[in-house]
Amino acid sequence: MSTSVVRGVGLTPEILDRLREIVGAEHVLTTDGDVEPFSRDATPLFRARPDAVVLPATTAEVADVLRLATETGTPVVPRGGGSNLAAGTVAERGGIVLVLTRMTVVQEVSADELLAVVQAGVTTSTLADAASARGLLYPPDPGSRTVSTVGGNVATCAGGLRGLKYGVTRNYVLGLEVVLPTGEVIRTGGRLWKDVAGYDLTRLLTGSEGTLGVITEVTVGLLPMPETSRTGIAYFDSLADAGRAVTAIIAGGTLPATLEFLDRACIGAVEDFAHLGLDRDAGALLLFGDDGSPRDVVESLDRMAAACTANGARGIELATDVAGSEDLLAARRCSLPALSRLAPVTMLEDVTVPRPQIARMVDDIEEIARRHDVVCATFGHAGDGNLHPTIVFDADDHDARRRAEAAFDEVFGRAIALGGTITGEHGVGAAKLPWLAQRLGADQLALLRRVKAAFDPAGILNPGKLGS
Amino acid sequence: MTASQDRAPVDVSLGLFDQDLLAACISCGFCLPACPTYQLTLDERSSPRGRITLMRAVDSGRLPADDPTVLEQSSYCLGCRACEPVCPAGVQYGALLEQWRDLTWSGARTPPVAAALRAGMRMTPALAAAGRVRGAARTTGRARGDGVQLMLGCVERSLFPGVSQAVTRLLPGIEVPSGQGCCGALHAHSGGSTEGHHLAERLGEALPGTILTTAGGCAAHLVNVLGRDRVHELSEHLVDVWSASEAPALTDVRVGGRRARVALQDSCHLRNGLGTSAQPRDLVARVADYVELPSAGACCGGAGTYSLLRPDDAAAVVAPKLDEVESLDLDYLVVVNPVCQRQLVTALRRRGSRVRVVHLAELLALALPT
């Protein structure tokens, strides 16, 4: 069976009628104007018109929609907050965009069991706030946390600023309610940290990018809220210097909650938006922070500041309170959109390398950008080797766009050569699919296809992406 | 209908929107949580990002300007600009909305209420007469120079004449030039941006000095057209002049033998357009116990002509705010814009609330020694 033949060629009136019966007529959108806002996500240069947008309210409705889709061979692309950066939610083969933002119930936050159960459409911030209200921490904090949904976070295994110390979304997903493309509702995992009954489908589905099943409910593990947290900034002459400081910090035995860096262009763009008084003259900025008991946090920040100084920091500033720290982190989360102030098209990538290779990768990115004559700014999660080189250009500058694509092609190759990967946290989607074989090799790619076929025999879920 | 794949969409602009403004949005979605209509619907179509996607489709001719969704979403938007301060990319949504409404509310598509108001507010002599009848501050003759000159507004003069009266008590001797009309904000926000621009310029000629306005919405529009130097919103002005020279000795505003508990409803365009939010709070706290309304910065649903055009939606927007107001045990709710005043007076009265809605000028005038 081939999954590549599935292509939405317009939905018949019968299919549309059945969709309306399932979710209610007002939750099936088909007109040009109504579907246009769902024709793209946060990825530049990708857009496709879905045949219909369907907004279910319950798991049962999702199951009915998927059963119908499998029966009729209709593509279905699940979508949460639409903040995907790899065109993972763009309906390139038409069909149905299945939007889960109506499923917004926080079902449970248990301080006794240190877990929460939420519907897929709950935003990451809402989950974090609900946990925080009970004195608990949901650590994954992708930059898009106020917009992105927990379902979308699981589907892409979203990362964030706390990856080094706390890991990423996969480290907190205990259980899932998932609707299979054929309509069965299954529950993987559950409320247990220890559970080895069967293949770990929870982890397989985490990061599956809406190609294996539609996640409708998520059970996440939580941690006790650290007593306090604090953040500081160190300025360097170059990003590579900051990279060396990162290596020194971790080699010194500190595992900080936050280690983020921005190059000069990013500092300027973030400062234009946030007005924090950042030093625009510095070549790079390292945002470092930790959480824990007040004494531990002070010690940890002192150690990190000392490591920065020893590695050529030209200035260090410590936030004086938690609010100041939050301002710094909030500004960092805005790096990407703030960079769009430089030019209309902002192509962002997501390569990740082993931590000791950061300084080298950063140097290589700068060299590649110079050679291809592109404007490139880089920021990223230094602590986990996850870099976001961002190339900006004008929409109608086709030559710049071609040069950007050529530069990124080299950047991907370089990352893989250094033992890294083409995407750390944004996903493969449609945007990075051309490089997936280079990363995984033919045998693994073939296995992905067999896994996909086992879940989705008709090939209806997010066709043309992972596993197709 | 076939599925179209557009991996490399090179939109050719029809030039309906300012291209730089339109290009600034990268669809990150950071605006979604700030948007009142998205929060009510959780529907991408009713979000700033979704609306800009619609504008782009119109600009490139993929959607006609009279597409039903385009018309509905340009109308459903409150125009509160809460998406602007949270936008890291610096998208000027308010300016884009004006251009959008110029397209969607033109000619026969103009909502009749908006057309009527636009026509009414054009008639300066009628505004002046209404102001006189209702007892707004008396004019002091033609503008004399380039000092600070009080603008009477169009809506406020008739609906809340006590506001300009109060300003003349707070700032004795303030010049109130005659011959002033509407500032055109109402036009700019409802499909007549060219006329809105002209009216602002004409008002700038009638008031050639620094224009002092009691309406946040008018202030933001006038700043757009005439520049920041020419415009002082009342709270900005009072904080400035009362720190530079002698402030009047203000007493406490008291209710039932204790200091009054007072909250503020921000004016959206004052807060989101001009970035002014500290001054009105500062002034309230000088004469009363200031209580922060959790939703102070969120739109009340008045939104220019919105509450007249879409009363049901305006009611849905204001409903959670009314619950907050009632739960805070307030004596007064202070506003800095006449449209907010009308919306909140009406909504709280309908609810049988005992909280009184007053303009900042009126509250401060209560604190003047008698």
**Residues 6 or more apart from B2 whose CB is under 8 A from it?**
A9, A10, A94
**Residue-wise pLDDT tens digits, A251-300:** 888 899 999 999 998 999 889 888 888 999 999 999 999 999 999 999 99
Which residues on chain B are in Cβ contact (under 8 Å) with A76? none
Q: Is A108 helix (H, G, I), strand (E, B) or coil?
A: strand
pLDDT at res. B128: 83
Per-residue pLDDT at B4 exceeds 70:
no
pLDDT at res. A98: 98
Residue in A83, A273, A346 nearest the CB of B90: A273
pLDDT at res. B244: 80
pLDDT at res. A71: 96
pLDDT at res. B3: 35
**Residue-wise pLDDT tens digits, A59-69:** 999 999 999 99
pLDDT at res. A25: 96
Q: CB–CB of B143/B152 below 8 Å?
A: no
**Residue-wise pLDDT tens digits, A418-440:** 999 999 999 999 999 999 999 99
For residues B28 and B259, give the distance between their C-alpha atoms in angstroms, rounded to a whole number.
Answer: 46
Tell me how close the Cα of B14 comes to any Cα of chain A, in angstroms: 15
pLDDT at res. A252: 87
pLDDT at res. B1: 30
**Residue-wise pLDDT tens digits, B65-101:** 999 999 999 999 999 999 999 998 899 999 999 999 9
For residues A238 and A283, give the distance between their C-alpha atoms in angstroms, rounded to a whole number.
Answer: 5
Lowest-pLDDT range of A43-47, A412-416, B7-11, B322-326: B7-11
The rounded percent of chain B whose pLDDT value lies above 90 is 77
Per-residue pLDDT at B7 exceeds 60:
no
pLDDT at res. A8: 52
Lowest-pLDDT range of A214-228, A275-289, B273-287, B330-344: A275-289
CA A233 vs CA A43, A196, A325: distances in Å? 30, 43, 10
Residue in B7, B26, B29 nearest the CB of A81: B29
- For residue B246, name the pLDDT band (cuts at 50, 70, 90): confident
How crowded is residue B287: how many other Cβ atoms within 10 Å of its Cβ?
A: 21
Which residues on chain B are in Cβ contact (under 8 Å) with A276? none
pLDDT at res. A383: 85
Residue A253 burial (CB < 10 Å; 0-12/13-18/19+)?
Answer: exposed
Contact check, Cβ <8 Å, B3/A9: yes
pLDDT at res. A105: 98
For residues A379 and A387, give the distance between their C-alpha atoms in angstroms, rounded to a whole number.
Answer: 6
pLDDT at res. A215: 98
pLDDT at res. A305: 95
| Over residues B218-245, mean pLDDT | 94
Which residues on chain A are in Cβ contact (under 8 Å) with B23? 344, 395
| Over residues B103-109, mean pLDDT | 87
pLDDT at res. B10: 64
Query: What are A382's two structure tokens?
Result: 């230094």
Q: What are the residue ranges in chain A where pLDDT is below 50?
A: 1-5
More confident residue, B171 or B134: B171
Q: What residues of chain A, 126 to 185, have a C-beta less than 8 Å from chain B?
A: 144, 146-147
**Residue-wise pLDDT tens digits, B23-65:** 999 999 999 999 999 999 999 999 999 999 999 999 999 999 9
pLDDT at res. B94: 96
In chain A, the residue whose alpha carbon lies closest to the alpha carbon of B45 is: A37
- For residue B106, name the pLDDT band (cuts at 50, 70, 90): confident
Which residues on chain B are in Cβ contact (under 8 Å) with A7? 3
**Residue-wise pLDDT tens digits, A76-126:** 999 999 999 999 999 999 999 999 999 999 999 999 999 999 999 999 999
All domains of chain A, ordered by start, with CATH? 106-224 (3.30.465.10), 228-427 (3.40.462.10)
Residue in B44, B54, B88 nearest the CB of A334: B88
Contact check, Cβ <8 Å, A33/B3: no
All domains of chain B, ordered by start, with CATH? 19-107 (1.10.1060.10), 114-244 (no CATH), 254-366 (3.40.50.10700)
Please give the backbone phi and psi of residue B3, each rounded to the nearest 5 degrees, phi first.
-70, 130
- For residue B313, name the pLDDT band (cuts at 50, 70, 90): very high
Q: CB–CB of A358/A367 below 8 Å?
A: no
